[in-house]
Amino acid sequence: MTSRAPAILVLEDGRVFRGEAFGSVGETFGEAVFNTGMTGYQETLTDPSYYGQVVAQTSPQIGNTGWNDEDDESRRIWVAGYVVRDPSRVASNWRSKRGLEDELATQGVVGICGVDTRALTRHLREAGAMRVGISSRSTDADALLAKVKASPQMAGANHVGAVTTAEPYTYEAEGTAKYTVAAIDLGIKRNTPRRLAARGITTTVFPAEATVEDLLADGPDAVFLSNGPGDPATADHQVAVTRELLKRNVPVFGICFGNQILGRALGLDTFKLKYGHRGINQPVLDRHTGKVEITAHNHGFALAPPESGEFFDTDFGRVQVSHVCLNDDVVEGLTCLDVPAYSVQYHPEAAGGPHDADYLFDRLTALIDKEGAATDA
């Protein structure tokens, strides 16, 4: 067995965890967050929303199913660093093409393993998400701490530019194309256009800086606001675009970052959660149906709840807080009652995670049909 180099993880508040090198050997910095999913590490690593974050997996056995060619949620791994307890030395799955660690090394992702990830998680839970550094080059904790303190903060960070597509591209509908959607790529995951395509939707994905004119040039039936990394308070351009779309009565569906943009467009503020929601077991109540869905979450920021409670008035009419997280009452979704727009803070496209919220894509086609009928009339 090849022995691993010692590595350290140092948090901004000075707490040090020791482990061993995992993936690429080097030094990395970011915001320390934890993910509680017990499956789906490949999807997590390739989710652009994790850009700038060092992700600790609370699930201890990571890498068991290797790395395959189908489950990437984007073109590359985005996490700034990766923290695991016990990485697998073999990959066992009929779809696996290579090992997780090889993939991390190939993509230059610095990780650390053998860490008491539960202690780390408890610390982040109590102290909140904070900056972190990992080094498998030097085990000088003081030196690393100084660098951590000099690294950029997540609050106020605009990371969308780093992850968005350079050029527009199109994802074709499955079977007969019934609808077209223009998606703003703020860090979109591959499964989103896939779930849209399954409903006969052709999706054109635009760069984050696309204008209303760019988006509506081909007359799409709706605009989709994707998930993405960074502080939603910095997404002023997308908020302005969204307000214009609402004015024009264009159907809008947003998820995650997109939920925060819609919320801001409707006048709500965003704030940073203490340690965020990152996992695939989060219970959300859909107030339309009274049912609970188990959902995939990845958000460090959230919409500030309106003072008036479930319903509130906006420039675009009445809006309902349609979804809430049962664990902590965080706003998880908005539905506009007077304009064709809705959004959720979580991930109906899952990948990884349960498919309970898949119905939200059906709501999009229903909304388009309803708007179409209204326009035709």
Partner 1 sequence: MPKRDDIHHVLVIGSGPIQIGQACEFDYSGTQACRVLREEGIRVTLVNSNPATIMTDPEYADATYVEPITPEVIEQVIAREKPDALLPTLGGQTALNAAVALHEAGILEKHGVELIGADMDAIQRGEDRQLFKDIVIKAGGEVPRSAVCHNMDEVKATVDDLGLPVVIRPSFTMGGLGSGMAHTWDDVDRIAGNGLAESPTTEVLIEESVLGWKEYELELMRDRNDNVVVVCSIENVDPMGVHTGDSVTVAPSMTLTDREYQSLRDLGIAVLREVGVDTGGCNIQFAIDPATGRIIVIEMNPRVSRSSALASKATGFPIAKIAAKLAIGYTLDEIPNDITKATPAAFEPALDYVVVKVPRFTFEKFPGADPTLTTTMKSVGEAMSLGRTFQQALQKALRSTETKQAGFWTRPDPEDADLANTLEALRTPHDGTLYTAERALRLGGTVDQVHEACKIDPWFLDQVAQLVDLRAEIETAVVMDEALLWKAKRAGCSDAQIAALRPELAGETGVRTLRRRLGLRPVYKTVDTCAAEFAANTPYHYSTYEDETEVAPSNRPKVMILGSGPNRIGQGIEFDYSCVHAVQALREAGYETIMVNCNPETVSTDYDTADRLYFEPLTFEDVAEVHHAEHTSGKAAGGPGVVGVIVQLGGQTPLGLADRLAAEGLPIVGTSPQAIDNAEDRGVFGKLLDELGLVAPAGGAATSFEEARAVAAEIGYPVLVRPSYVLGGRGMEIVYDEDTLAGYISRATEASPEHPVLIDRFLDDAIEIDVDCLCDGEDVYIGGIMEHIEEAGVHSGDSSCALPPITLGAAVIEQIRHYTAKLAFGIGVRGLMNVQYALKDEQLYVLEANPRASRTVPFVSKATAVPMAKAAARIALGARIAELRAEGMLLPEGDGSDTAPDAPISVKEVLLPFKRFRTTEGAGIDALLGPEMKSTGEVMGIDRSFGLAFAKATLAVYGKLPTSGKVFVSVADRDKRSIVFPIRSLVDLGFTVYATDGTGLVLRRHGIDYTPVARHSGGTGTHTQDAVSLIASGGVDFVITTPSASTGPRTDGWEIRSAAAVADIPCVTTIQGAAAATQAIESAARGEITVTPLQELHQRLRGAERV
The residues binding partner 1 (CB under 8 A) are 1, 17, 34, 36-40, 42-43, 58-61, 64-65, 68, 70-71, 85-86, 88-90, 92-95, 116-119, 121-122, 125, 279-283, 285, 290-292, 294, 326-328, 350-355
Smallest gap from residue 47 Cβ to partner 1 (A): 12
Q: How far is CA 106 from CA 23, 29, 99, 133, 280, in A?
A: 8, 19, 11, 20, 27
**Is 111 annotated as contributing to ligand binding?**
no
256 part of the active site: yes
**Is 298 annotated as contributing to ligand binding?**
yes
204 vs 345 by CB, closer to partner 1:
345
Find out whether 55 and 42 touch, Cβ atoms under 8 Å. no
- Rounded to 5 degrees, φ, ψ at 251 are -60, 135
Smallest gap from residue 189 Cβ to partner 1 (A): 13
DSSP, collapsed to helix, strand or coil, labels residue 54 as: strand
349 part of the active site: yes
Please name the residues in contact with 257: beta carbons below 8 A apart, sequence gap of 6 or more: 49, 160, 186, 187, 225, 226, 227, 228, 229, 230, 232, 235
Whole-angstrom distance, CA of residue 319 vs CA of residue 362 = 20
**Is 257 annotated as contributing to ligand binding?**
yes
36 vs 320 by CB, closer to partner 1:
36
Find out whether 86 and 61 touch, Cβ atoms under 8 Å. yes
Smallest gap from residue 372 Cβ to partner 1 (A): 31
39 vs 106 by CB, closer to partner 1:
39
* Extended strands (E) in the chain: 6-11, 16-23, 27-35, 53-57, 61-62, 81-83, 86-87, 110-113, 130-135, 169-171, 179-184, 201-206, 222-225, 252-255, 270-286, 291-303, 311-314, 317-325, 331-336, 341-344
Smallest gap from residue 255 Cβ to partner 1 (A): 18
Find out whether 256 and 228 touch, Cβ atoms under 8 Å. yes
DSSP character at residue 72: -
Whole-angstrom distance, CA of residue 345 vs CA of residue 66 = 30
64 vs 234 by CB, closer to partner 1:
64
Smallest gap from residue 119 Cβ to partner 1 (A): 4
**Is 63 annotated as contributing to ligand binding?**
no
**Is 230 annotated as contributing to ligand binding?**
yes
233 vs 255 by CB, closer to partner 1:
255
347 part of the active site: yes
**Is 301 annotated as contributing to ligand binding?**
yes
Bridge-partner residues for 367, per DSSP?
none
Cβ neighbours around 338 below 10 Å, total: 13
Identified catalytic residue from 43, 101, 113, 256: 256
Catalytic residues: 256, 347, 349
Binding-site residue set for L-glutamine: 49, 228, 230, 257, 260, 298, 300-301
